[in-house]
Structure formats: C-alpha cells, structure tokens
Amino acid sequence: MTIQRAEVNWAVVGTGFVSQCIAEDLRLTSGARRYAVCSRSAERAQLFAAERGFTRAYASFRTMLSDPSVEAVYIATPHATHAALAIAALEAGKHVLIEKPMALDAAEARRIRDVATARRRFAMEAMWMRFNPVYRELVGSARAGTIGEIRSVRASFGLPFGSALSGQWTAQRGSSTLLDQGVYPVTFALDLLGRPTRIRAGGRVREDGVDLTEHITFEYDGGRFAQLSASMIEYIEPTASVSGTDGWMTIPAPFWAATEFEIHAGGIARALGESNRIRFERQGNGYVPMLEAATDAILDGQTGHALHSLSDTITTLSLIDAIRGAVNTTPAIEEETR
C-alpha cells in the first residue's frame, strides 16, 4: 500500500551505539520522521527520545507495535532477537529495517521473507555498505572492466572490541564475529566474484560456541579466489582490494564505510607509479543513503530494494552457514593469560 504523504514515522528499537547513529542520521533523511523509540528501560527510552527528538518513548515492544502511528521499525537489538522482533513487527503491519545480521542463519531469514511477502510490507537487512556511494562506485567500476577481468578479492574486518573471554558475548545473544564483522568481507566477495565453488575456513571458537576469529578462502572456477578474515579480539587490517588482469583497486580502513578508493591500472610502470583516487563526502554517520533508500521505497509502496534484496541476504547467510560448518569447532579458549 502506497503511503500518500511525504513522511514515514520511524521507530527505533534499542538505545545502544547503533541506535544512536541511526537516530542522528534519521534527522538528515528526507521523508523520515523520528517518531518513537523502544527500550526495556522506560528511563532510557525517555532520555533517548528527549535527547534525539523522538515524539514517543516505549518500554514495551508490543505496546509500541499497537501504536498505529508507527509505520517503520529499525531493529537494533542483540542478534538472537532480530528474527522474532522483525516477524512480530511485520505481523503488526509495520515495515522493518533490521540491523545486520538480519537473522542468525538462512532459515530464520527465509521466515522473515515469508512473513514480509504475506503481509506485503517492506523488509530489508541494514547492510549500509551496499548503499555507500564509494562502495557502489568501486563495484560498478570493477564490474565494468576498469581493471580488466576480476581475478581476486581481499577483505578483512578485525578490531579488538574486547577480550576473548568477554562476558558481553554469549551464545544466547547470538554473539558472532562471523555474523557481525565477517558479513562485510563475505558480501564484498559476493558482489565482485559471486558465489564460490568451494569454501575453506578456520578460526577460533569458544566452548560456548561463540566464534571469535575466522580466516576464509573462497575458490572459483578458473583459479579466481577471495581471501577474507574477521575478528573481534585482534586487529586484522580492515581494508579491502580487488585485483584484475589490468590493475587493482584498494579501499582504506574502514572499507565498509570508506569515503574514497584508489584505482591502479594500465601497464606495470603506470599501475605502480600512478593512481586515480575517487572520493565522496560522507552523509552523517554513513547510514543516510541506506535510510533514504528504505524511506523512499516505503513511500513508493515497495516491499524491498534492488541494492539489497531479501534474496541477497539469504544468499549471504547461506554462505555464512557453510563457513560456520567449515570452521574448526574444537574449543580454543580455556583460560586467558594475564
């Protein structure tokens, strides 16, 4: 159903760091109104609303969903809650934009898709990287042959967010470096080389099943490959590159939210000695392009977006499921050395 007016009333679920960034960027998003925020704590919800210009504050998700003025919901809660909250919102007639990962696995993502389809509501994973102008330009340029035939990809996202035994990461919350950080390198490889024919992977997994690091190789026909890695306990240079038969492109850290990239192409002397740097200005915290795309799609009566469809999300999660199966699950963390 097409909304007849030029605004979408957004509700944000959760008051953590991502929700704070989203709230700031909603202020910069044409057609978006900061309407409601929901937290388990009434005090936190009220403070968040007052500080960031939201009209309503809720301490109950179900009560928020019963508000007919709420039209679209941004879900920024722990991973394990995403699918259930998204399905509840869709069944209440709301559109949903779900912080990545949309779900813990491909099966959960399919359930979200089925409900969104049945309810004819917009549903999308918040893979903001795919809406970043720099990322779109790089992928488009590489696909157009700027560096010849694409032969290989490298991408990493490793930052020490905490210690290996951090109590804030639990299996119950769906904590996972593969789902949180690894999804970006995996998406990068998919966009430039497509689905691999073979996956090799290893990593470190705690006794409770929380994965901490991964190193992954995607293999393709004709000798093409992608080398990917992710960690939430150590640095792995968070940059990316794509190489071809006539040159290469590099994206500086953090590659998923970069404002520029470089092209090295031509003969060896030229490729080594010269580069073409492409720059774009960042809008807000970097979420604005995605929020504008989602808001416009909702206003246009669409149920998805071509830049990141539900089919794309299911494909990515299917690969993540396969990577998880390939990683050595022998417990690697017994005691942290002091």
Q: d(Cα 90, Cα 99) in Å, to the nearest integer? A: 15
Cα separation values, 131 from 61, 105, 291, Å: 28, 23, 9
Bridge partners of residue 261, in order along the sequence: 278
DSSP state of 252: P
Q: Which of 100, 130, 305, 324 is catalytic?
A: 100
Phi (first) and psi of residue 161, to 5 degrees? -75, -20
Please check whether residue 2 is in contact with residue 301, taking contact to mean a CB–CB distance below 8 angstroms: yes
Q: d(Cα 296, Cα 89) in Å, to the nearest integer? A: 19
Q: d(Cα 135, Cα 142) in Å, to the nearest integer? A: 11
Q: CB count, 10 Å around CB of 133?
A: 15
Q: What's the half-sphere exposure (Cβ side, CA atoms, 13 Å) at 63? A: 11
3-class secondary structure, 174: coil
Q: Does the annotation count 94 as an active-site position?
A: no
Q: Got the DSSP string for 178-233?
A: HHHTTHHHHHHHHHHH-S-SEEEEEEEE-TTS-EEEEEEEEE-GGG-EEEEEEESS
Nearest to 152 by CA among 235, 249, 287: 249
Rg (CA), the chain: 20
Q: Which two tokens stand for residue 239?
A: 């940059």
In the numeric block, the tokens 């430039």 are attached to: 192
Helix axes 183-193, 310-326, angle to 10 degrees: 110
Stated as kind and residue range, the H or E segment containing 57 is strand 56-58
**Catalytic center residues:** 100
